[in-house]
Structure 1
């Protein structure tokens, strides 16, 4: 049986060795060979930018190199425009010419903004961009030339003198712009005033036709480029290369050698060396003598089927081709690949055919790839359709019987073909023989793998007038579709019989499809000669009946079910419309039901199936999809997770329990079939089995991409977040029960997972604080104590003073407080099911009273003899305090009781808040041996004195005269008294200071120093 695997326009547009892909679990992973079709390149500063992508048929990518092309990085951008055709740079801006206008990026390609202001209505396909001075020129639409002088913000048409507005090439210097045309044989136009006016410059050009040069008729100019001061013009239609050494005023033909190439797509050069790029397999040609002679220069360029662009930088020339970018450092003598641009199966190996890069092979499901193009014309042809049989691999008209190592013309093995075009296998295999056919000749058979072939036409009439379209096998019977009917053979082709096929015409079997299911054979017609529909035979091809009118594109089989894709003729809004559809038959093709519902944009050629699932892709940019149904089309699930969002899967094939998707320019992707099923039971659930009632808890299972998780909790619990995900947050109730999760996806519901939960009653944590005494005196210690509830066995005490941490982790806290401090406690319980945790205590504001200010400057006498009489202590301020110390009783100091030596006497005063201030003075007690008793005959107090001064005479003698002298020796008081034993005088009105007191008695005069405060 022949396997046909379409991989339309599959090629990867990455730069070799540079892409790394990170994908999520249960998603598509990229597995294709790297490289791609390079459309255009430009230089901006030290960076080289390149664009890959096959015109509008594949998604473009933009790459940047910072090291002269040694390595490339893909520019990550969410809005790369589609259908990029040209790129240019000016200043810090990049410009793209696209099929929808002009885009600009000011951040090195990360974001792109459409800049079409001023471009006339109509088509806006921009094929060419160039820069001259500060002016940007764009061409490609039928509107001719447009230009911008403000960095692309505004555009104006600049066609004055440009009489042919279909521009096929564009180049510029700092002062001149050149446009190549062709539709009217007008050649080259030049502008030396930045596009304000144009002048035709084709003098010397001619068109070569039938061996003659037709002067005045210029060829189509498809490429323009400078090499030094020489301007070169490449042409199409085998018209060669022209050169001008005077900026286009005059032209000469370079060499007849250049007429061997149908079209030149790019020209560049340095010095005397010129490089020209060709299409259709010619690659690069080079001249080292200013264009006089030319020779091929493809050494090192493995894929030179189409050259798209040149770029010169730092002495290197970069060549953009349909197979990647190549670099030469010696003007084209040798090139090295710096990028390279995908399905059939043979044994354990997978083969990918690409649009422009040839065929690649992998033996590890895409982890590594190797190019297998030996003998393939991949520079000329696109090899994006591969076919395989059990013994051979087919691409175009070539065959490989050694798994791609070498390719040969299939005609060496087979005299005919098994299909009527150049894209199919050259034979089919049936009952250990090979079968092929040739138009107007008949059917061939070989029993020795193509070494010998024999015609087997028995039963086929008028063989010379017959066209053969296809040959099929159901394992027992061969079927031959031809222009005279459908033949069948049950004996390996020994005898052919014509079956009855209704409404047959000579083209009916063109591109027909075939499938077999047990004893029923099914043929689908694709519209050849107007024929369409599904036909079945239950008698090995003797007769056929039509069972549906579908225009069949492809068949698939899922178990015993038959699936057909194609277009169905439906009446929509009163009109007959072909609608892409998928149909199912569960009775061997006798009846069919549509299972694609209202899906539109289905890519019917991508239909494929496994034993239990159907797959098909959908083209709906920018959100292309791969769809899967596990229930015969009742539901279709988008299984595009992980695919590049721009990727269009143009082919789907199932290989080794995996599905592979070939995309339009974004490589080959794969995914395990096991992922397309109802989810497995989730793993062990994480979460508290004995949560506290009223608490907030989280329950989770391992996440699987594409799975939705439905949760159930006990009745008085509530889910507050996460239902539908793998992780929920709940408020716990008081009811015992289970937390249940049910996984589901588009394929159904999987087995649940549950967690038994038994809530524990919760306790409220509480705390309060109290202080032993508030209203203390400054400098005293305050002691705080905490009263707590449900704190557990190891709670945490966080004391705060004025909001700042203080104290230790303890239930008591003591410190020297300041007035107005705010003290509180943050209390954290470690008890199970403690709620409101942590809690904050009451606050206590401290009251701290100030100490009184106390003074005691001096006391007289401060030196006493031990045998003197006790003295009353005085002078402390404020008055009313208490004197204490050795020898002090009731504020009287007794020197005899104190004993000899220096004694520190304290004066303490307490205010109304019972806060005390204290001050001390020393009093010295001397033994005073030999001092007469009379020296201690008079005592005065207080000293220092504020107002009233008392004088006492120890012998009770009478006081007659009291005199007072200031520090200047002036008498300030003279008072005559007659008092026995004591007298009191007022010091009121005298200034503070030191005074001398003189007391005269009848028999003696005594003198004492006093201090007046």
Structure 2
């Protein structure tokens, strides 16, 4: 019976893993529909494109006002200039509102009406840049007069004759020097003397680079995120890994800070006020507070059936917001009283996984049992202890060791290939009591356990 109770409780728990002690995601009131884009303006207002329309919040997400609904179903891109003008990319058209979102008019249409705008940014001088991801004819246009007129951005020939026109665009940004940067499915391009040139190689260490997201930190450093895929002609032998590049202060080189991040796709990127890197994926959110040396899965509070994170932003107060399949969430510190973290380091696809568990302050020193466990794809269990991983039967909780509760850390895997562990679920938790049976009962009753990670 204990095996059934524990198994069902662990499998059914909709819990994630906080990045920092006590951090969790809290859903903003009333926004539960899929949200594809979110951005903040210079005045601290938050704008979001959802399936319920274009929304605005002036109080940190506590309340929302609907600005526009008839541009849906696709508000693909969203940006606000310094004057408060709102620009929306919807389908093949770019719309502008100069009255706070009451009315919109078309200011640009793509050459290919079947394409969709994928890349919209505005620089410090309110120059507007718009891009499109057509497979064989990407376009980049610039307006210096609020969309009244447009000019094409010059294109430069690069490796093997490939230009940005051959590179489907995913994101645009402008650096502090006014140079345009394009993240594309053929690498990263940077403006130089009026043209877009590849500054991160189109092929990197024998792999294709597929760049999808761009972001800045408080000091203006630029980050570009995406994936790389090996050039092997054999699909079974191809390897896909996450890549996050940070540009050096002199703007000449890009260094990979992805570390051992164990995900295959990145959908969103934002940098916190303290320099923490947050990325949105199809598995939720990962964060790194040490420039990518290690990563922590940050899903506590996100709905388990809606952890696809389409967009992220950081407001003027440093609050991080995530636009997800189930609405908008903000990151709140101090909402949890106990924490379990899983950090990733080393090289993918054979990273090192280090787990940490810190009990509630009021529980520290009390007798109890802490545990790290894993359920394999065949539903068998393993328990981590002094002898490493050993088989574990939840029907026999005497495998738990009773001791005074305290913060603990364990290296669960060390430079281990994850390919053969697909489907394994990693858990952590603790219970209070003077016997293993009492610990287990307390843990299950109070849900003092978390699913930290599912190996893909």
The bucket for the TM-score relative to the shorter chain is 0.5 to 0.7
* Partner Cα distance (1:272, 1:126) in 2: 25
* Partner Cα distance (1:374, 1:268) in 2: 23
Note if contact 1:96-1:104 (Cα within 8 Å) is conserved in structure 2: yes
Residues 400-450 of structure 1 deviation map (CA, whole Å, 9 limit, x = unaligned): 5488853455899xxxx9xxxx4379xxxxxxxxxxxxxxxxxxxxxxxxx
Distance 1:86 1:277, change over 3 A: same
Picking from 412, 425, 444, the partner of 1:406 is 412
* Partner Cα distance (1:9, 1:203) in 2: 52
2:192 matches 1:221: no
Note if contact 2:92-2:110 (Cα within 8 Å) is conserved in structure 1: no
Look up the match of 1:392.
382
Look up the match of 1:170.
120
Look up the match of 1:369.
340
1:217 deviates by: 3.2
Look up the match of 1:287.
247
2:224 matches 1:276: yes
2:46 matches 1:94: yes
Look up the match of 1:16.
20
1:320 deviates by: 1.9
* Partner Cα distance (1:657, 1:92) in 2: 42
Note if contact 1:162-1:198 (Cα within 8 Å) is conserved in structure 2: no
Note if contact 2:29-2:61 (Cα within 8 Å) is conserved in structure 1: no
List gaps (5 residues or longer) in structure 1. Answer: 19-33, 36-51, 53-60, 63-76, 343-351, 358-365, 426-653, 668-1013
Matched residue SS, 1:254: strand
1:243 deviates by: 0.9
TM-score normalised according to structure 1 size: 0.28
Look up the match of 1:786.
none
Picking from 185, 196, 203, the partner of 2:148 is 196
Matched residue SS, 1:251: strand
Distance 1:663 1:126, change over 3 A: farther
Picking from 652, 658, 661, the partner of 2:445 is 658
What is the 5 A alignment of 1:855-894? none
* Partner Cα distance (2:74, 2:157) in 1: 31
Note if contact 2:269-2:277 (Cα within 8 Å) is conserved in structure 1: yes
Note if contact 1:222-1:235 (Cα within 8 Å) is conserved in structure 2: yes
1:326 deviates by: 4.4
What is the 5 A alignment of 1:30-109? 35=24, 61=26, 77-84=28-35, 85-91=37-43, 93-109=45-61
Distance 1:226 1:339, change over 3 A: farther
Distance 1:95 1:145, change over 3 A: same
* Partner Cα distance (1:166, 1:224) in 2: 14
Distance 1:370 1:111, change over 3 A: closer
RMSD (Å), alpha carbons = 5.2
| Structure with bigger gyration radius | 1
Note if contact 2:93-2:109 (Cα within 8 Å) is conserved in structure 1: no
* Partner Cα distance (2:442, 2:198) in 1: 56
Residues 523-581 of structure 1 deviation map (CA, whole Å, 9 limit, x = unaligned): xxxxxxxxxxxxxxxxxxxxxxxxxxxxxxxxxxxxxxxxxxxxxxxxxxxxxxxxxxx
Note if contact 1:285-1:295 (Cα within 8 Å) is conserved in structure 2: yes
1:286 deviates by: 2.5
List gaps (5 residues or longer) in structure 2. Answer: 228-239, 310-336, 353-373, 393-409, 426-440
Matched residue SS, 1:217: helix
* Partner Cα distance (2:191, 2:13) in 1: 40
Note if contact 2:297-2:342 (Cα within 8 Å) is conserved in structure 1: no
Look up the match of 1:595.
none
Matched residue SS, 1:282: strand
2:198 matches 1:253: yes
* Partner Cα distance (2:19, 2:417) in 1: 32
* Partner Cα distance (1:233, 1:91) in 2: 26
* Partner Cα distance (1:216, 1:657) in 2: 55
Note if contact 1:10-1:662 (Cα within 8 Å) is conserved in structure 2: no
TM-score normalised according to structure 2 size: 0.56
Picking from 133, 150, 160, the partner of 1:182 is 133
What is the 5 A alignment of 1:324-473? 324-326=286-288, 332=291, 340-341=298-299, 367-371=338-342, 387=377, 392=382, 400-401=389-390, 405-407=411-413, 408=416, 422-423=422-423
Please identify which structure carries the higher helix content: 2
Note if contact 2:81-2:122 (Cα within 8 Å) is conserved in structure 1: yes
Note if contact 1:356-1:379 (Cα within 8 Å) is conserved in structure 2: no
Note if contact 1:274-1:291 (Cα within 8 Å) is conserved in structure 2: no
Distance 1:161 1:168, change over 3 A: closer
